[in-house]
Amino acid sequence: MPWCDTCDVYLAPNSVDEGGTCPTCGGSVDTADRIQATSPDQAVPWHFWVVVVAVVAYLGWRLIQGIGWLVQQL
């Protein structure tokens, strides 16, 4: 979240000027958090992929169970 020390306010990322300056006072804005949030390494946390793998494994197992149930009905 961009932070302006002069105004003591958080700024919406879209409201920060092109040069990384505050639209209210024109001072420089601390955008370290924004840069970190948009870097490729930080965009998707590792535990997101743990959840993705768990969901895929669970749904795959349920699919196998469903196919087994269908075969039993024949």
State which of residues 7, 13, 21, 34 lies at the interface with Zn ion (CB under 5 A): 7
Q: Of the two residues 15 and 24, which places its CB atom closer to Zn ion in the complex?
A: 24
Residue 23 DSSP class: T
Alpha helix stretches (DSSP H) within the chain: 32-38, 40-43, 46-73
Q: Measure the CA angle with vertex 10, ends 7 and 16; round to 5°.
A: 85
Nearest CB to Zn ion, comparing residues 32 and 54: 32
* Window 14 to 73, contacts with Zn ion (CB under 5 A): 22, 24-25
Q: Which chain residues interact with Zn ion by CB under 5 A?
A: 4, 6-7, 22, 24-25
